[in-house]
Amino acid sequence: MKENWERTEPPADLSIEEIEELVRPAADGRKVLSAALLGEGFSNTNYKLQLEGGHGPYVLRLYRRDSSVAEKELEIARRLHGKVPVPNMIHMDASCTRYKSPWALMEWKEGILLRDVLKSGDSQQRVQAAAEALGKVLADIHAHTFPTAGFLGKSLEVAEPFAMEAEAFLVFMKDSLFANRSGYWLGEELAPSLWTFCQKHAHKLSDPEDTPVLVHSDFNGLNILIAQDGGVSAVLDWEFAFAGSRLTDIANLLRYEQKASPFERQFIRSYEQHTGKALPGEWQLRSKLEDLIALCDMLNHSTEATPNRVFDLKRLIRRTLEYNANA
């Protein structure tokens, strides 16, 4: 699961003195006793902080992107409070006056990354408990609906409407494969095969009954913390959230799973139970089509300096074609 992936940009490197000065307004002047760089993120920079007086731990989050992303995360934390396990935003500064980009001081959440739970060989009972809990949590996230699909503004309004239906999907994929970097990385054999696959199945993305929901868009083992009892203690990193198809999050979570694995089956049962409705026909194929958008977008932004990332993305795309070879 993104094993040994390289960051496209290095994390921000701040001394403990710089961190202490930055968070002073949010920390009531308390001294920062420790600041440990958290190494799991691929976009923003996160430090785990401990303040004097036994206060903490906290997370200092330094955003790479503009203030609208930080403000969107703040609004999501407010909207989902008490409904979905998300960290509280203790302080947010999107002014770029104290630091060159937006930053936030956030609640620290205890738990083990879902990735590590799945890799550790923990008891099947714990894995199944996590799958059950994830079905409920994702159903609670998707209970938040929108009148139209699109990118969200800082107040969670649909600021830039779009619908990733058949035509838009083919436009994006054609550009990725024949004008952008995806085609370069996939090569002369895999790129044409993927294009043929997309042309064959694109029409299945158009579903007038697919109500746009709040999509996390990075709902996977690196952004989900699991408690000791197998419950979900936190869903992290909402910077890519948008209004769209619920199959996007389902595809992201199951990206590295074997087809019809016990984890997948338990998660889908739980999700359908808590949403009160079955997933649409051919949901596996449709979710893989949704995921191709993300995989190719990441390939488009890959470089020669990210060989591990490129290798894994190519493997996932090849696996998608094999997964649906008889579809």
Instruction: Classify the C-alpha dihedral 190-193-197-202 as positive or negative.
Output: positive
CATH of domain 112-323: 3.90.1200.10
The confidence score (pLDDT) of residue 39 equals: 81
| Tens digit of each residue's pLDDT (9 = 90 or more) over 235-291 | 999 999 999 999 999 999 999 998 889 999 999 999 999 999 999 989 999 999 999
Q: Which residues contact 230 (CB under 8 A, 6 or more apart)?
A: 125, 126, 127, 128, 129, 130, 132, 133
Determine the Cα–Cα distance for residues 177 and 183; give it in Å rounded to an integer.
4
Q: At residue 40, does pLDDT exceed 80?
A: no
Q: Greatest CA separation found in the chain? A: 62
The confidence score (pLDDT) of residue 321 equals: 93
| Tens digit of each residue's pLDDT (9 = 90 or more) over 171-202 | 999 999 999 999 999 999 899 999 999 999 99
The confidence score (pLDDT) of residue 2 equals: 80
Domain boundaries, the chain: 16-107, 112-323
Of the pLDDT bands very low, low, confident and very high (cuts 50, 70, 90), residue 126 is confident
- Mean per-residue pLDDT over the chain, rounded: 93
Give yes or no for a contact between 88 and 11, defined as CB atoms under 8 angstroms apart: no
Determine the Cα–Cα distance for residues 100 and 90; give it in Å rounded to an integer.
20
Determine the Cα–Cα distance for residues 167 and 205; give it in Å rounded to an integer.
9
Question: Is residue 37 classed as helix, strand or coil in its secondary structure?
Answer: strand
Q: In what helix (H) or strand (E) does residue 77 lie, and over which residues does it extend?
A: helix 67-80
Q: Going by CATH, does the domain composed of 16-107 fall within 3.30.200.20?
A: yes
Of the pLDDT bands very low, low, confident and very high (cuts 50, 70, 90), residue 8 is confident
Determine the Cα–Cα distance for residues 248 and 291; give it in Å rounded to an integer.
6
State phi, psi for 76 to the nearest 5 degrees.
Answer: -65, -45
Determine the Cα–Cα distance for residues 78 and 63; give it in Å rounded to an integer.
18
The confidence score (pLDDT) of residue 101 equals: 94
State phi, psi for 142 to the nearest 5 degrees.
Answer: -75, -5
| Tens digit of each residue's pLDDT (9 = 90 or more) over 56-112 | 899 999 998 788 999 999 999 999 999 999 999 999 999 999 999 999 999 999 999
The confidence score (pLDDT) of residue 325 equals: 60
% the chain with pLDDT above 70: 98
Which whole-number Å values give the CA distances from 116 to 40, 43, 83, 112, 222, in the listed order? 12, 20, 25, 7, 9
The confidence score (pLDDT) of residue 327 equals: 52
Q: Where are the strands (E) in the chain, listed by range?
A: 32-38, 45-51, 55-62, 89-93, 103-107, 112-113, 150-152, 158-161, 213-215, 224-226, 232-235, 242-244
Q: 212: burial class by Cβ within 10 Å (0-12, 13-18, 19+)? A: buried
Determine the Cα–Cα distance for residues 7 and 104; give it in Å rounded to an integer.
21
Of the pLDDT bands very low, low, confident and very high (cuts 50, 70, 90), residue 3 is confident
- Mean pLDDT over 33-39 rounds to 93
